[in-house]
Structure 1
Amino acid sequence: MGVPAYAQSDEADVRAVIDRLFDGMRAGDSMMVSSVLHNEALMARAGSQGLRIGPTDGFVRAVGTPHDEVWDERIWDVHISIDGRLASAWMEFAFFLGDTLSHCGVNSMQLYRTDEGWKIIYLADTNRPPTCEVLGQGP
């Protein structure tokens, strides 16, 4: 028995939101990024300095602030689970500043289906030094 069509559609819609987030980062487009974030969304970073949790406002501003290098976050091995109006996505990533690998890790996102569509309500990531395997290619 296959997956119901509505579940496949929801998964594609969630993936489109995730892709739009990273397309907005690459374009330096804060409006595109904010369009996929719930107005009360939170971010968490689990790195060598411990855990930082806060609103997404600073992230959105940073994306829209001109910078010399393209912020290119490449994702793979994306796993999406959906139950009703709640979705969870887990993925590997490598973050490049221009052509230079900066760091890598895992993104974990929670999304909620609003009347306007899926919105990211929580985004967490890890931050490892650039010794990770990138898309299975090794450091």
Structure 2
Amino acid sequence: MKKYLFCILMLIGYSSIAQTNSSEETPEKFVENFFEAFHDQDTIRLKQMAHQEARLQSVSKDKAGKTVLVTEEYGKFIKGIASIPPDAEFKETIHEFRVEENGLMATVNTPYSFHFNGKFSHCGVNTFQLVKFEGEWRIVYLIDTREKEGCD
């Protein structure tokens, strides 16, 4: 009888440890990890964070003040990150996280400012559309705005 009680207590203990260690990643933490991989130029990790059909777009204004929408494949984004020279310094500073999570989907908006080699480049807002596949968040759509002026 003592052996059975001991086994049951061990299983209960193991179960509670497993539940403690399997905390799910929040959408905010996922995006923080994305920017960590971005700044580390970790293209393998960046690729794993996106669904194979992920789509990227950027909104900006041209010199004439006309709104321009640019669409890019996620793979091209990854190649662009890999091509940044090792001596270049780039930093995207996130000013705030606005998260709306609804079951299998989440939207994360992050106002940001971007500096390249210590100089201000642009600012804007990133909007991540995330979907949870098999318990893990993946980027399915990422759009950002890029402004040169009006950044506070």
TM range (shorter): 0.7 to 0.9
Larger radius of gyration: 2
1:89-139 superposed Cα distances (whole Å, 9 cap, x missing partner) = 112001111322110001111000001500111000000005512xxxxxx
List 4+ stretches of structure 1 deviating above 6 A.
Answer: none
- Higher helix proportion: 2
Q: Is the 8 A contact 2:89 2:116 kept in 1?
A: yes
Alignment equivalent of 1:35, drawn from 48, 51, 71: 48
Q: Using a 3 Å threshold, how does the CA distance of structure 1 residues 123 and 23 change in structure 2: closer, same or farther?
A: same
Provide TM-score, normalisation by structure 2.
Answer: 0.74
| Runs of 5+ unmatched residues, structure 2 | 1-22, 63-67
Aligned to 1:4: none
Tell me how far apart the structure 1 counterparts of residues 82 and 145 of structure 2 sit (CA, whole Å). 22
Is the partner of 1:77 in helix, strand or coil? Answer: coil
Distance, in Å, in 1 between the alignment partners of 2:95 and 2:48 is 22
Shift of 1:53: 1.8
Pair 1:132-2:145 in alignment: no
Kindly indicate which of the two structures has a greater share of residues assigned to strand: 1
Deviations 1:59-79, CA, capped at 9 Å, x for gaps:
111111242323311112211
Q: Is the 8 A contact 2:90 2:118 kept in 1?
A: no
Distance in structure 1 (CA, Å) of the matches to 2:149 and 2:120? 6
Partner SS state of residue 122, structure 1 = strand
Root-mean-square deviation (CA, aligned residues, Å) is 1.7
2:34 aligned counterpart, secondary structure: helix
Matches within 5 A, 1:48-127: 48-49=61-62, 50-67=68-85, 68-127=87-146
CA displacement at 1:51 relative to structure 2: 0.4
Deviation at 1:45, TM superposition (A): 0.3
Alpha-carbon distance in structure 1 between the residues aligned to 2:95 and 2:125: 10
Paired residue type of 1:14: P
What's the TM-score, normalizing by structure 1? 0.81
Q: How far is the alpha carbon of 1:34 from its aligned partner?
A: 1.3
SS at match of 2:95: strand
| Unaligned 5+ runs, structure 1 | 1-8, 134-139
Q: Across the two proteins, how many residue pairs are aligned to each other?
A: 124
Which residue in 1 is equivalent to 2:29? Answer: 16
Distance in 1, matches of 2:95 and 2:147, equals 16
